[in-house]
């Protein structure tokens, strides 16, 4: 809880002053549920209810577990850039648990069903740095064009401390 509070405590709460649920507690449940595979606001709320007894060991939950509506409203209103900075700060702590001799795999993928036909937008293409043994994504960057992942790789490598680690990469195209 302290790590989540330290990372997300500085994020401005975009909800009204009379919000019932503490922002850090909502973020704690959201992060824990996401790590466990939650993929929607309904999943976040269901996880919160299922783990409520355990959560109460570290959270106050003065007004109970937030509903899916609360999660949805918060993520709709939250500044994506502020969330990204806070979440990156949170994830940086996990990089410390990655063994010094662990292999880090750089890989690029195109997200399924991410092509937006109405706007003729390209599908979402990402580059990931994956700690193989820890089974943890250390970082991720969007690729501007699916046929040029090298710029995203270089941007990703600039923010990761990979000294002393073996880094592999698949056959990424550079046009």
What average pLDDT values come out for the chain (175 residues) when binned by 10 residues? Answer: 78 90 94 88 96 95 96 93 84 72 86 60 80 85 74 86 84 56
**Residues 44 and 112 reside in one and the same domain:** no
Query: Which structural domain, as residue segments, surrounds residue 75?
Result: 2-95
Domain closes at, from 52, 71, 95: 95
Strand order in the sheet with 166-169: 136-142, 125-131, 103-110, 166-169
175 part of a folded domain: no
Alpha carbons 141 and 52: distance in angstroms, whole number: 34
Domains of the chain: total: 2
pTM of the model: 0.65
Cβ(48)–Cβ(26) under 8 Å?
no
Amino acid 151: pLDDT: 85
User: Quick one: 45 and 120 in the same domain?
Assistant: no
Phi/psi for 106 (5° steps) reads -95, 130
- List Cβ neighbours of 30 (8 Å cut-off, separation of 6 or more): 38, 44, 71, 75
> Do 86 and 122 share a domain, yes or no?
no
* Alpha carbon distance 142, 49 (integer Å): 33
């Amino acid at each position: 809880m302290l790590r989540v509070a330290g990372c997300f405590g500085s994020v401005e709460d975009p909800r009204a002053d009379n919000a019932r649920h503490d922002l850090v507690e909502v973020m704690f449940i959201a992060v824990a549920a996401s790590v466990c595979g939650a993929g929607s606001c309904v999943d976040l709320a269901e996880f919160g209810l299922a783990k409520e007894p355990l959560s109460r060991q570290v959270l106050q939950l003065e007004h109970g577990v937030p509903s899916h509506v609360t999660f949805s409203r918060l993520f709709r209103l939250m500044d994506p850039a502020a969330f990204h900075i806070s979440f990156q700060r949170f994830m940086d702590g996990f990089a410390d648990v990655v063994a010094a001799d662990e292999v880090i795999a750089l890989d690029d993928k195109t997200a399924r069903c991410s092509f937006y036909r109405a706007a003729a937008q390209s599908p979402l293409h990402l580059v990931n740095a994956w700690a193989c043994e820890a089974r943890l994504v250390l970082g991720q960057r969007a690729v501007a064009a699916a046929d040029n992942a090298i710029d995203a790789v270089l941007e990703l490598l600039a923010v990761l401390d990979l000294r002393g680690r073996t880094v592999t990469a698949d056959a990424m195209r550079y046009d």
